[in-house]
Amino acid sequence: MAVIIACWLAAVALPPLALVAWRDRRMAEVASPEAQAEWDAFRADMQRQSGREGPVQRKIRKSVEPPELVWLRDYLLLAIAAWITLVGLLGGFLAAIALGVARAASTAGLAAASPAEDGAARGRHDQKQHERDSQHADERRHG
């Protein structure tokens, strides 16, 4: 049980922590003047290609900053919240199912019974049920 909960907590917490650590390293690269110059050159190229006829119509990007910089700066918390919500709910649901199955298996003592033992137990159960049904029918008849 503790293993399932630990795995669930790790699945919820580790990816956002890794994303924050990656963001800290990556922000220095995408916020650099070189990255901004590459983005400006890309936008200028798209502007030159936007008026041409051809199989693909190019659109000029509206953002004056590289999209990765905008995403890392403005939308990281949204991505983390979405991850925690979705994986937390889905993983929590699956963990609850796994814990329920494990608990049911341990309390019911689901040991692997042989087919002969299983059939004999079912036969005894069917016979007892038949006797109870007969007794109830007799009670109804005699009021």
- pLDDT, residue 99, reads 85
- Is this structure's pTM higher than 0.75? no
Give the span between the Cα atoms of 92 and 9, in whole angstroms.
Answer: 9
- Tens of pLDDT, residue by residue over 42-77, are 888 888 777 666 566 667 778 889 999 999 999 999
- pLDDT, residue 20, reads 94
44 and 58 in contact (C-beta within 8 Å)?
no
Place of tokens 């630990």: 6
Give the span between the Cα atoms of 141 and 110, in whole angstroms.
Answer: 41
- Tens of pLDDT, residue by residue over 73-95, are 999 999 999 999 999 899 889 88
Handedness of CA 49, 54, 56, 57 (dihedral sign): positive
- Tens of pLDDT, residue by residue over 117-139, are 666 666 677 778 878 888 877 77
**How is the chain split into domains, by residue range?**
2-111, 114-143
Report whether pLDDT(112) > 60.
no
